[in-house]
Structure formats: structure tokens, C-alpha cells
Amino acid sequence: MSDHPSARDLEEFLEEQFKFRNEDRRIDVLEVGGGRVKVHMRFHERMLRPGQTVSGPTLMLVADTAVYMLVLRELGLGAMASVTSSLNINFLKRPKPAGVTGEGKLLRMGRRLAVGDVLLYSDGESEPVAQATVTYALPAK
């Protein structure tokens, strides 16, 4: 494995570390590199809240995972102590009952904090349904 884990390396890490990861909570890492990531959560009816729309917690999970992948890409894999310290989400429009894609970029990678921005899209839609800014507290070196 190179200094920077591949999309497949990151997926395997998720599968190993998060035992709940199954078909209805699966997030695939489609692309990663150059401070950017693209992840996708397949549709499952458990994602929906009343009103047949994707729930806010589902969107937050996709956004958080996208930035976590960016942090792991930069720092390398391992059971590190980086944790989400802040997640701010803006809901832009009602998500349709479909899978969700998160397109993230790393805004800042400091010694103590990493900050990423994620646009979230319903499958088949060109306009984002939400935007999130996620901050990770990084482990002390």
C-alpha cells in the first residue's frame, strides 16, 4: 500500500472497523485523491423518515464519512483517535427517496483539526440537497 490509501483500502478499513456496515448502511468510496472524495450510500427504506424523504441523520452519516475518508487518506489507516468535533449541515431541498452521494473536499489539514466541506446529492439529481461542514479533532503526535 502506498503512503495514501486507495478508495478500496478505505472501504476495507470501514468494513473492518464498523461492524454495523451492511447493505442498508453501506457507504462505498467511489473516488479519493487530491484532497477530494466521492462516497455513495445505496438506497434502503430504513433511510427514510415519515414523508418519504431521506432522514437528516442519514445525510449527516454520509457527510461525516466523506470527511473521515479525507482524514484517513491524509494521515493513513489505523485505529487512530480522530473524532468528529463539529458537524454543521444546511438542508437545501427535500431529498427524494434514493441513494445519496457525498462529494467532499478538504478545506484545511492542520496539526489539531481537519476541516472538510461536503455537498450531498440524491441519486439522479444535479442540485445538492444539503451542504455540510465537518471538523475532525486529530490525534496528538
The pLDDT assigned to 11 comes to 82
Please write the tens of the pLDDT for every residue from 30-62.
Answer: 999 999 999 999 998 888 888 899 999 999 999
100/97 Cα distance (integer angstroms): 9
68/107 Cα distance (integer angstroms): 13
**pLDDT above 70 covers what percent of the chain?**
89
Least confident stretch, 1-5, 43-47, 85-89, 111-115: 1-5
Mean pLDDT of the chain: 89
| Residue 136: band (very low, low, confident or very high) from pLDDT cuts 50, 70, 90 | very high
Please write the tens of the pLDDT for every residue from 9-32.
Answer: 888 888 777 765 555 568 899 999
According to CATH, the superfamily of the domain at 7-137 is Hotdog Thioesterase (3.10.129.10)
How far out from the chain centre does Cα 37 lie? 8
